[in-house]
Amino acid sequence: MTSPLPPVPAHIQASFDRQSMMQTIGATLIAAGDGACVIRAPILAGMRQQHGAGHAGLAFTLGDTAAGYAALSLYPPDREVMTAEIKINLLSPAIGEMLEARGEVVRAGRRLSVVRAEVWALQGDKRKTIALMQGTMIPVDPA
């Protein structure tokens, strides 16, 4: 999960920019292409659970979005993808300076793509896995 990723295609960046949720959580699209995608976001003060760690919903949002754009990167630019379903195992509290999610396509198909995502908490030069996800993305016609 450490190979370099190509620059973000314009249609993926544009889609990302239209998601107000990504702005609300302060997310940045780091890389997308070749069936993978990396997104980072800080753990904003308004995104916490009752003990001050990042909310599970934040980790989910990042991982789901990274997995979605990983899948989208393998379809023609005029398609969109939707999450059909996804499962998350939460391994550690989201504590750190930043969260990073990496989505990857395991199997790309005409009708659906199977994806995985890993979410880390970053602190200095250390990273700790906080969530693992596995799910299904489906290509759809643009609305």
Per CB under 8 A, does 13 bind a second copy?
no
Instruction: Provide the b/e sequence for 114-123 (b: ≥16 CB within 10 Å).
Output: bbbbbbbbbe
Per CB under 8 A, does 114 bind a second copy?
yes
CA 59 to chain centre: 9
Q: Which stretch binds a second copy (CB under 8 A): 2-10, 19-27, 34-42, 119-127?
A: 19-27
How far apart CA 107 and CA 128 sit, in angstroms, is 26
Which residues from 35-54 bind a second copy, rule CB under 8 A?
45-51
DSSP string, 31-44: EEETTEEEEEEE--
- Cβ–Cβ < 8 Å for 53, 93: yes
Q: Which is nearer to a second copy, 31 or 66 (CB)?
A: 66
Using CB under 8 A as the criterion, which residues of the chain lie in contact with a second copy when the complex forms? Answer: 15-16, 18-21, 23-24, 45-51, 55-58, 60-61, 64-65, 80, 82-92, 106-107, 111-112, 114, 116, 129, 132, 134-136, 138, 143
